[in-house]
Amino acid sequence: MNRFGYRMFKSAAMIWCVWSSLLTSYELIRMKIPETVYLYEEEAMDVLAGSDTKIAPEKLYLDFAGEVELHEKMIGSYTAVCNLFGMIPLKTMEVSIVSKQELIPGGIPVGVYVQTEGVFVIGTGNIETENKLLESPAKNILKTGDYITSIQGVKIYNKQDLIRNLAQFEGEELVLGIRRNGESIEVAISPVLSENGAQLGIWVRDDTQGVGTLTYLTLDGMFGALGHGISDADSELLMEVSGGKLYDCEIFDITKGKKGMPGKLSGKIIYSASNLYGDVRGNVSGGIYGKGNFHLRENVKNKSIPIALKQEVKEGEAFVLSAVSGELKEYQVKLEKVYNGNNDVNKGMLLTVVDEELLSLTGGIVQGMSGSPIIQDGKLVGAVTHVLVNDPTRGYGIFIENMLDAAE
- Tens-digit pLDDT profile for residues 160-191: 999 998 888 766 789 999 999 999 999 999 88
Q: Poorest-confidence range of 77-91, 133-147, 182-196?
A: 77-91
pLDDT over threshold 50, residue 315: yes
Chain centroid, CA 384 distance in Å: 11
pLDDT of residue 64: 33
Q: How many CB atoms lie within 10 A of CB 388?
A: 17
Instruction: Give pLDDT, residue 404.
Output: 93
Active site residue 355: yes
- Of 185, 137, 191, 141, whose CA–CA distance to 163 is shortest? 191
Q: Characterise 189 by phi-psi region: left (phi > 0), alpha (psi -120 to 50), beta (else).
A: beta
Give whichever of 5-14, 75-84, 331-340 has the largest mean pLDDT: 331-340
Contact 206, 116 (CB under 8 A): yes
How much is the pLDDT for 7?
Answer: 60
* Radius of gyration over every alpha carbon of the chain, rounded to an integer in angstroms: 26
Q: Which pLDDT score is estimated for 15?
A: 65
Going by pLDDT thresholds of 50, 70 and 90, the confidence category of residue 24 is low
Q: How confident is the model at residue 367 (pLDDT cuts 50, 70, 90)?
A: very high
* 324 within 8 A of 358, measured Cβ to Cβ: yes
Is residue 59 pLDDT above 80, yes or no? no
Residue 377 confidence (pLDDT):
96
The pair phi, psi for residue 60, each rounded to 5°, is -110, 120
| 3-state DSSP percent of the chain in helix, strand and coil, to 5 | 15, 50, 35
Catalytic residue (one of 51, 150, 370, 372): 370
Q: Is the pLDDT of residue 290 over 70?
A: yes
Which of the residues 146, 206, 248, 355 is marked catalytic?
355
Q: Does 61 have pLDDT greater than 60?
A: no
Q: Phi then psi for 257, rounded to 5 degrees?
A: -75, 140
Residue 407 has pLDDT above 80, yes or no: yes
Active-site residue, selected from the candidate residues 228, 322, 372, 386: 228
pLDDT at 383 over 50: yes
d(CA 363, CA 143): 39
Residue 132 banded pLDDT, cuts 50, 70, 90: confident
Q: Where are the domains of the chain?
A: 3-98, 126-200, 301-407
Active site residue 279: no
Predicted pLDDT of residue 9: 55
pLDDT at 19: 57
Tell me, which fold does domain 301-407 have in CATH?
Thrombin, subunit H (2.40.10)
pLDDT band at 340 (very low <50, low <70, confident <90, very high): confident
pLDDT of residue 342: 73
- pLDDT reading at 343 higher than 80: no
Q: CA 27 from chain center: how many Å?
A: 25
Q: Is the pLDDT of residue 22 over 90?
A: no
CA distances from 349 to 34, 211, 313, 370, 395 (A): 14, 23, 9, 14, 8
- Check residue 109 and give its pLDDT: 96
306: preceding bond cis by omega (within 30 degrees): no
pLDDT at 197 over 90: no
How many helices, marked H, and strands, marked E, lie in the chain? 5, 29
Amino acid at 34: P
Nearest to 60 by CA among 79, 88, 86: 79
Q: For residue 78, what are the β-bridge partners?
A: 95
User: Is the pLDDT reported for residue 366 higher than 70?
Assistant: yes
Question: 3-98: what CATH class?
Answer: mainly beta
Is 228 marked active-site?
yes
Confidence of residue 134 (pLDDT cuts 50, 70, 90): confident
Residue 211, pLDDT above cutoff 70: yes
For position 32, what pLDDT does the model report? 60
Residue 379 has pLDDT above 70, yes or no: yes
Element (H, E) at 285: none
State percent of the chain over pLDDT 90.
60
pLDDT of amino acid 349: 95
pLDDT at 357 over 50: yes
* Confidence at residue 20, expressed as pLDDT on a 0 to 100 scale: 62
pLDDT greater than 90 at residue 321: yes
Question: Across the chain, which distance is largest between two alpha carbons, in Å?
Answer: 89
Which has more confidence, 163 or 14?
Answer: 163
Cβ burial 215-225 (10 Å sphere, 16+ → b, else e): bbbbeeebbbb
**Which region holds residue 104: left if phi is over 0, alpha if psi is between -120 and 50, else beta?**
beta
Average pLDDT, the chain: 84
CA distance 313 to 335: 9
Residue type, 48: L
Flag whether pLDDT at 72 surpasses 60: no
Q: Which CATH superfamily is domain 126-200 in?
A: PDZ domain (2.30.42.10)
Strongest mean pLDDT among 122-136, 154-168, 285-299: 285-299
* Residue pLDDT, tens place only, 257-274: 998 899 999 999 989 999
Average pLDDT estimate for 333-341:
91
